[in-house]
Chains A and B, each alone.
Chain A
Amino acid sequence: MSPSSPRREAGVRGWLRNAFRGPTLVFAGGSLIAGIAVVQLRGTERATAAIVDAAAMSLGVLPQVVLGLMLGAVLQQLVPHETVGRYLGRESGLRGLVVGTLLGCVTPGGPFASFPIVYALFVAGAEAATLVTYLAAWALIGVNRMIVWELPFMGAEFAVFRWLICLPLPLLAGLLARAIVTRTRLKPEAPEAGR
């Protein structure tokens, strides 16, 4: 479905190979080094407390993240990317910015899912400002990310507060992008296809 999603492999070996990729080693190595530093600088007691804190947070957060992933996966099937592309490519001007905000908000999935649509629209001649708004909305007020990550870690109160604060900002980014394109020499062109 997406170019960078890991290859599917069957069984426990596939699961293990999938789990032990770069980030796992980075987090494990980093934890080891930081853990040794905590023991040396702050003492064993603080290190134990940090481990207990981390375990408690993991237990609190994981069920919600798993639920969020399921929700995101179902949403992704209900709102296919082709639909997003159809609406986004059709609009321009201020309407384009509003539509870009709305669609960015509901587009589920990570960057590997979003950039190919944006590229396709860009090549097809969509206005750059609309795409800037769409990407900013997806990054700042994407509901999927809020559900999977921000709710479990930061709590509902903070998540909703930040979401409301950021709600008008993608539109502003689109207006700024339009001003930059009309007033400076920075005029984005779609890179050659096939790159």
Chain B
Amino acid sequence: MNLVTILVMGLVTLALGTTLSLRAPERLRPAAEFTLRQLAPLALQLPLAILLASFLSELLPPAAIAGLFGRESGPWGIVLAALVGGALPGGPMASFPIAVFLWQAGAGPAQTVALLAGWSVFALHRVIIFELPIMGWRFSALRLLACAPLPVLAGLAAALLIRLTGVSLSP
């Protein structure tokens, strides 16, 4: 499974890289530099972030997670997951390990969808660091208001789709 994903991604990267080198060879170097620049902090931070999430998941009892966010937690579990997702601090490096450990500890798929959607839309660190200073508070308020219902809607739609199609998602 993992190997297939890696293989597909490798082939797509190779194909796009070849396209780039044929169409705009001078842009290959910036692409390589960008990758290396992002890779340096990542190689150290990602394992540490995963370790932190792993320790935290030991501290939270799985029964409590299943009770709050489990398949049986229903719409309130979806609302709670969306709120928790919105409050998750930090970028994808911090949030995805938390999401995956919660999912493995018994959070339902619809609740996990709501959690990730909540984090994607609200991401408070992004609002404070990038959006407020660049776009101003009126735009931020408009965007946050317009996006506020989305995570819960995503969770409810996921629950409905799972019930209708019987698709089984498990970690």
Contact = CB atoms under 8 A, between A and B. Distances in A.
A148 B6 contact: no
Given A78-B19, A111-B130, A140-B120, A50 B55 contact: yes
Contacts of A24: 41, 44-45, 48
Contacts of A49: 58
B97 A57 contact: yes
A69 B35 contact: yes
Interface in A1-47: 1, 5-6, 8, 15, 18-21, 23-24, 27-28, 30-31, 34-35, 37-38, 41-42, 46-47
A23 B13 contact: no
A42 B60 CA distance: 11
A165 to B, nearest CB: 5
A60 to B, nearest CB: 6
B134 A18 contact: no
B73 interface: no
B63 interface: no
Contacts of B145: 176-177, 180, 186
Given A110-B91, A186-B142, A77 B30 contact: yes
A74 interface: yes
Interface in A42-63: 42, 46-47, 49-51, 53-55, 57-58, 60-63
B136 interface: yes
B76 interface: no
**Interface band, chain B:** 35 or more
B138 interface: yes
Contacts of B164: none
12 contacts: A31-B52, A46-B58, A50-B54, A54-B50, A64-B5, A67-B13, A69-B42, A71-B16, A139-B120, A149-B92, A162-B113, A186-B141
Given A68-B9, A180-B145, 20 more contacts: A1-B30, A1-B34, A24-B48, A27-B94, A47-B58, A53-B54, A54-B54, A62-B43, A62-B46, A66-B35, A66-B42, A131-B139, A136-B121, A136-B147, A140-B150, A154-B112, A169-B150, A169-B154, A176-B145, A186-B142
Interface of B: 1-2, 5-6, 9-10, 12-13, 16-17, 19-20, 23-24, 27-28, 30-35, 37-59, 90-94, 96-97, 99-100, 103, 109, 112-113, 116-117, 120-121, 123, 126, 129-131, 133-136, 138-139, 141-143, 145-147, 149-150, 153-154, 157-158, 161, 167, 169, 171
Interface of A: 1, 5-6, 8, 15, 18-21, 23-24, 27-28, 30-31, 34-35, 37-38, 41-42, 46-47, 49-51, 53-55, 57-58, 60-71, 73-78, 110-112, 115-116, 118-119, 122, 128-129, 131-132, 135-136, 139-140, 145, 147-158, 161-162, 165-166, 169, 172-174, 176-177, 180-181, 186-191, 195
